[in-house]
């Protein structure tokens, strides 16, 4: 099953063009959707999740017309939004069981087995009787993954899932998402480059509602291979370098800016080759350097 998005457009009432002729083809596995805040990622996710209408374009999930057959989509969709509310004093088991009822699972025994199985999958079985409102951020996100897997979905969408998680919880989250991605389409929408590099073999970069790149992570890295150079400079010289070179990024290392510069030609002046990474691709695309 493939998800095929063709020339999708969405303009909000305030005039903002959230989606501008977006076209993507996404196969089974982990797909990273990378972009800064305001890039249009969440607008695309909400459209795919049938939470808002597009102005024009088409979306097909297998033989399902996503924009016009919303009930069919919801039966095969798992969605973990950036933030989700919970009922106070409701246990993880009871809340997940309630959500399963809403999704159409009427057989109580079958529902119980599914709920307990999902809580085990996300390592929350021992906390099944605790209120979800008392969970840590990482535990809530794992519960969110459990609810998104109700009914064995064909498409799972997760929107900014690791924001605010500590490294241990992030790694546990990575492992769960990787396992899910072996069997279904999983779209990971994020502004965290490391998330995409760790999890995804294919990706897209969005900014201002447009797709700037779509392909494999290896293809993305190939676009800058041998073309990124780095140098430590003084803070006083930073503006001069930004004016005279194609500076991809700069960050303080030991109190001094370390700049990454894009150049097709070998650079002199104490510049040394930098190991290519997705962060350089990301910033080079956003700044229209490649």
What does the pLDDT read at residue 206?
95
Tell me how far apart the alpha carbons of residues 6 and 85 are, in angstroms, rounded to a whole number. Answer: 32
Query: Residue 229 in contact with residue 263, Cβ under 8 Å?
Result: yes
What is the overall mean pLDDT for the chain?
91
Span 232-253, pLDDT tens digits: 999 999 999 999 999 999 999 8
Backbone φ and ψ for 222, nearest 5 degrees, come out as -65, -25
Measured between its terminal Cα atoms, the distance across the chain in Å is 32
Placement of tokens 């150079």 in the chain? 229
What does the pLDDT read at residue 162?
77
Residues pairing with 8 in the sheet: 22
Percent of the chain whose predicted confidence (pLDDT) is above 70? 99
- Enter the tokens of residue 200: 């995804």
What does the pLDDT read at residue 238?
93
Span 152-173, pLDDT tens digits: 899 999 988 877 778 888 888 8
What does the pLDDT read at residue 92?
95
**What are the extents of the domains in the chain?**
1-76+182-222, 225-286
Span 5-15, pLDDT tens digits: 999 999 999 99
At 257, the pLDDT band (50, 70, 90 cuts) reads very high
Sign of the Cα pseudo-torsion (77, 83, 87, 92, in order): positive
CATH architecture assignment, domain 1-76+182-222: 3-Layer(aba) Sandwich (3.40)
Nearest to residue 202, comparing CAs of 214, 212, 216?
216
Percent of the chain whose predicted confidence (pLDDT) is above 90? 69
Span 212-236, pLDDT tens digits: 999 999 999 999 999 999 999 999 9
The average pLDDT across 57-68 equals: 97
Span 116-128, pLDDT tens digits: 999 998 889 999 9
Q: Residue 168: how many CB atoms within 10 A of its CB?
A: 9
Q: DSSP string covering 121-170, please?
A: HTT-GGGTTSBGGGS-HHHHHHHHHHHHTTT--SEEEEESTTTT--HHHH
């Amino acid at each position: 099953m493939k998800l095929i998005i063709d020339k999708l457009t969405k303009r909000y009432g305030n005039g903002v063009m959230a989606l501008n002729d977006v076209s993507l083809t996404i196969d089974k596995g982990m797909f990273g959707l990378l972009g800064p805040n305001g890039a249009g990622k969440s607008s695309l996710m909400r459209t795919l999740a049938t939470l808002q209408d597009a102005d024009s374009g088409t979306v097909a999930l297998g033989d399902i017309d996503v924009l016009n057959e919303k009930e069919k989509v919801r039966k095969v969709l798992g969605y973990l939004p950036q933030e989700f509310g919970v009922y106070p004093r409701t246990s993880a088991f009871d809340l997940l069981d309630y959500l399963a009822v809403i999704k159409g699972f009427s057989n109580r025994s079958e529902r119980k087995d599914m709920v307990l199985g999902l809580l085990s999958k996300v390592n929350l079985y021992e906390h099944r009787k605790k209120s979800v409102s008392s969970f840590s951020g990482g535990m809530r996100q794992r519960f969110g993954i459990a609810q998104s897997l109700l009914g064995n979905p064909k498409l799972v969408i997760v929107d900014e899932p690791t924001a605010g998680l500590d490294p241990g919880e992030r790694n546990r989250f990575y492992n769960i998402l990787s396992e899910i991605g072996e069997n279904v389409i999983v779209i990971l929408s994020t502004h965290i480059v490391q998330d995409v590099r760790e999890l995804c073999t294919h990706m897209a970069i969005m900014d201002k509602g447009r797709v700037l790149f779509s392909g494999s992570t290896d293809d993305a890295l190939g676009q800058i291979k041998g073309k990124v150079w780095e140098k430590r400079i003084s803070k006083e010289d930073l503006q001069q370098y930004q004016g005279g070179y194609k500076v991809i990024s700069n960050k303080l290392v030991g109190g001094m800016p370390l700049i990454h510069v894009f150049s097709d030609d070998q650079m002199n002046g104490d510049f040394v080759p930098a190991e290519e990474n997705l962060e350089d691709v990301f910033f080079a695309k956003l700044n229209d350097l490649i």
